[in-house]
Amino acid sequence: MLTASRLLAIMIGIAAIVPACGQDESAGLSPRKMVLWCTVMDGASKRLFASDPVPTSALSHMALWNANSRFITIVNSRYNLTIRNNDHSCSVYLDMTHATKARDVLVSLAQQRGNRIVNVGSN
């Protein structure tokens, strides 16, 4: 049986599947468009808030932190919540295929766990 801590560990592991932000720029990454999407779980209401994957330029650590903060702020204001800011709510991928697959797996696991998925849209 999946506990909340195991589900969170699985979600973090899935978000770590080939994230572009963890690769060294000297590895040949061009300044092409990458793909960003964010998710955050509200454990009290058993809802997973997820954004759509959107193209973005290469992000520095600070820019990724700003995207995380913005997503959490939008979710909190739209749904009258007080979810704390989390450095790991957004993921960056090299292409739309990898980003979409990782997001779909995360959403599927959350649905299997009985969570309701709330699509926040592209932010």
In whole angstroms, give the CA distance from residue 95 to residue 109.
22
Considering only CA atoms, which of 106, 83, 105 is closest in space to residue 8?
A: 106
Residue ranges of domains in the chain = 4-22+30-121
Q: How far is CA 48 from CA 7, 17, 26, in A?
A: 12, 19, 35
Report how far residue 93's alpha carbon sits from residue 20's, in angstroms, rounded to the nearest whole number.
5
Per-residue pLDDT of the chain (123 residues; tens, 9 = 90+): 556 555 555 555 555 554 444 444 434 445 568 999 999 999 889 999 999 999 998 888 888 889 999 999 999 999 999 888 776 889 999 999 999 999 999 999 999 999 999 999 865
pLDDT for res 26: 39
Q: What is the model's pLDDT at position 12?
A: 57
| Amino acid letter, residue 44 | A
Distance CA 76, CA 62 (A): 21
